[in-house]
């Protein structure tokens, strides 16, 4: 099953006839973690995977705990969808690296579950209700129900919730249309997000030599978008700069997340900065 993708609300609202108007949405906080899945077939659970389907070895211990618990549900076949977080690592940059480890477990990891796809044609409201029932019954500290903040058709109310999350230092909100089926592999108004800053996932095509204090190391990354726009971005740590200067093959070809103040009409980004390698992104999955 291909993953459903989130559309920025502002892109839908920019259309002549936005399809989100007068539609009912459940609004969730957008957590600053990894998007993950767990497939279950007749009560036999697999291992926690990233949104690209890659196994996450640093969560193998939690996966085995889930396998043991879910073996009590031989009737269950479906996919849990969640955000992966850790009490020990609050910022995405650090958590991103920890989750990518192959020989160590991510400490104090937990899952904020927001969907359970048993039958893709079921409306989200029905899927969420069944997920909430099961997760509550499982009673695992590491597996939690992502709470619905509000359910509304009022766009202003959704934006107000996003501003409330931003004021507390959060990322923003996710909007799930309550009557929508699971739109496998699609990016449409069934699943949207509101984020304060412009965020782009871009492809690294090269490195630029630094100057001054960054002599003999990476000064910036060369990036490109699917539309063909090119960018020069900095904001990496000194350790990252040195590592990629000596072994550029470790960063060239990777998908990285970039934050900017805004995207300008010509496609350029105002004050872009590197945030993290998107280890959970597949090759070709960039903006």
pLDDT value at position 141?
95
Cβ-count burial 94-125 (b if 16+ within 10 Å, e if not): ebbebbbeeeeebeebbbbbbbbbbeeebebb
Measure CA 120 to chain center: 20
- The arithmetic mean of pLDDT across residues 159-171, rounded, is 87
Is 163's pLDDT higher than 90?
A: no
Multiple choice CATH, 1-31+147-196, 3.30.460.10, 3.30.1120.80, 3.30.1490.70, 3.40.50.300? 3.30.1490.70
Give yes or no for residue 51 having a pLDDT over 90.
Answer: no
Paired tokens of 106 = 């991510």
pLDDT at position 159 over 80: yes
Q: Where are the beta strands (DSSP E) in the chain?
A: 5-8, 25-29, 34-41, 44-45, 49-50, 78-86, 109-117, 143-145, 150-152, 172-177, 187-195, 198-209, 218-224, 230-233, 255-260, 262-263, 269-270, 273-277
Task: Read off the pLDDT of each residue in 38-55 and give the average, rounded to a whole number.
Answer: 95
Task: State the pLDDT at residue 261.
Answer: 64
13-34: per-residue pLDDT in tens?
989 999 999 999 999 999 989 9
* % the chain with pLDDT above 70: 99
Predicted confidence at residue 174, as pLDDT, reads 96
Using the predicted structure, report yes or no on whether residue 268 has a pLDDT greater than 90.
no
Chain segment 84-93, per-residue pLDDT in tens: 999 998 777 7
Among 108-112, 129-133, 276-280, whose mean pLDDT is lowest?
A: 276-280
**Average pLDDT across the chain, whole number:** 92
The half-sphere exposure of 118 on its side-chain side, counting CA atoms within 13 A, is 15
Ordered DSSP codes for 86-112: ESS--SHHHHHHHHT-SSSPPTTEEEE
Which of the four CATH numbers 1.20.1560.10, 3.40.50.300, 1.10.1060.10, 3.30.470.30 does domain 32-145 have?
3.30.470.30
- List the beta bridge partners of residue 57: none
Alpha carbon 107 to chain centroid distance? 20
Most confident of 94-108, 126-140, 260-274: 126-140
Higher-pLDDT residue of 192 and 171 is 192
Q: Name the superfamily (CATH) of residues 198-277.
A: Nucleic acid-binding proteins (2.40.50.140)
pLDDT of residue 17: 94
Burial class (CB in 10 A: 0-12, 13-18, 19+), 183: middle
Residues 81, 78: Cα–Cα separation, whole Å: 10
Give pLDDT tens digits for 207-252. 999 988 888 999 999 999 988 999 999 989 999 999 999 999 999 9
pLDDT value at 160 more than 90:
yes
Residue 4's pLDDT band (cuts 50, 70, 90): very high
Nearest alpha carbon to residue 269 among 232, 222, 220, 237:
232
How many CA atoms lie within 13 Å of 238's alpha carbon, on the beta-carbon side?
3
- The single-letter DSSP state of residue 190 is E
**In this model, does residue 146 exceed pLDDT 90?**
yes
Domain spans in the chain, listed from the N-terminal domain onward: 1-31+147-196, 32-145, 198-277
Mean pLDDT of 269-287: 83
Q: pLDDT at position 24, please?
A: 98
């Amino acid at each position: 099953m291909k993953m459903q993708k989130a559309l920025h609300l502002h892109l839908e609202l920019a259309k002549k006839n936005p399809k989100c108007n007068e539609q009912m949405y459940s609004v969730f906080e957008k957590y600053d973690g990894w998007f993950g899945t767990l497939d279950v077939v007749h009560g036999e659970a697999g291992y926690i995977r990233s949104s690209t389907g890659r196994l996450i070895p640093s969560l193998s211990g939690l996966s085995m705990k889930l396998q043991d618990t879910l073996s009590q549900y031989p009737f269950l076949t479906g996919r849990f969808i969640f955000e992966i977080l850790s009490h020990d690592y609050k910022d995405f940059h650090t958590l991103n690296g920890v989750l990518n480890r192959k020989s160590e477990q991510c400490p104090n990891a937990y899952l904020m579950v927001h969907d359970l796809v048993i039958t893709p044609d079921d409306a989200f409201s029905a899927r969420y209700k069944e997920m909430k029932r099961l997760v509550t019954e499982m009673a695992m500290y590491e597996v939690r129900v992502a709470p619905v903040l509000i359910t509304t058709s009022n766009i202003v109310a959704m934006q107000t919730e996003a501003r409330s999350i931003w004021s507390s230092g959060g990322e923003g909100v996710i909007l799930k249309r309550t009557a929508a089926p699971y739109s496998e592999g699609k990016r449409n108004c069934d699943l949207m997000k509101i984020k304060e800053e412009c965020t782009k996932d871009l492809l690294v095509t090269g490195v630029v030599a630094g100057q001054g204090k960054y002599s003999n190391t990476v000064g910036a990354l060369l990036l490109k978008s699917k539309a063909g726009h090119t960018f020069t971005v900095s904001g990496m740590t000194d350790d990252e700069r040195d590592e990629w200067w000596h072994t550029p093959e470790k960063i060239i070809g990777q998908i990285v997340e970039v934050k900017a103040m805004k995207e300008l009409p010509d496609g350029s980004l105002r004050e872009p900065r590197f945030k993290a390698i998107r280890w959970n992104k597949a090759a070709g999955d960039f903006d």
